A = this chain, B = another copy of it.
Amino acid sequence: MPRLVATDIAAELRKRISAGEWTDIGRIPPERDLAEAFGVARNTVRRAVNLLEVDGTVVRQVGRGTFLADPDPNSLASVVARMEGTSPADMMEIRQLLEPAAASFAATNASNSELNAVREAHQTACDSADMPTFEHWDAEFHHRIFACSRNDFLKEIHNLMRILRNQSPWFEMKKRSFSEERRQTYCREHQAIVDALIERNPDGAKQAMLAHLQTVQRNLLGR
């Protein structure tokens, strides 16, 4: 068993804090007590608490103690946490904003080899024999379009949406809503997108992507 070190103690403290161990008193025990409790030197505890302090988990005051920080609603962590509660409808609305734009950028900016990668993902999805394989290459198709939009931030927003969707309970709806017929519809629509990209037609790509996402939305949300 590896020895307890500063980073481990920081992780343990983080765990206990988020478990609400000291929420009632609003503070964590003195460093000297923690050191004794963990069976390490006080300096080690100090380094661990430093880690909690820099990321704003905790605030220290000389002579008073170490206090649990009020969660900052404007911190990255809080924003991401709130995003995790996004509804399918809100998510689809933003997808319909961003993905057509990404397709449009891609038609303008993509290299030929990037376009080939997009087409390849589309082709593999169409050829796939089972649903999990199709879904994987479907996701890859969309991802590769973002990848050649040449806007890294846009690409990362898409990654963010993908992660949020994957960990959302309502994502299961998608799987239930799947059928062979819909798969073929998606393939046709993907083909239209690929065609527009290869024609280097930004507006065509945008429209094709929008049409596809509207189909997805109908299938997913039923309207």
Interface residue ranges, A against B (CB under 8 Å): 2, 7-8, 11, 24-25, 27, 29-30, 33, 74-76, 79-80, 82-83, 85-87, 90-91, 93-94, 97-98, 101, 151-154, 156-157, 159-160, 162-163
Contacts of A154 in B (CB 8 A): 90, 93-94, 97
Give 19 CB contacts A-B under 8 Å.
A2-B25, A2-B29, A2-B33, A7-B25, A74-B162, A75-B163, A76-B80, A79-B156, A79-B163, A80-B160, A82-B156, A86-B153, A86-B156, A87-B152, A90-B151, A91-B153, A94-B153, A98-B98, A157-B157
Closest 10 CB pairs of A and B: A90-B153, A86-B153, A79-B159, A90-B151, A83-B156, A97-B101, A2-B29, A79-B160, A82-B156, A79-B156
Number of copies: 2
Chain B: which residue is nearest A90 at the CB level?
B153
Contacts of A97 in B (CB 8 A): 97-98, 101, 154
Secondary structure call for the A interface: helix
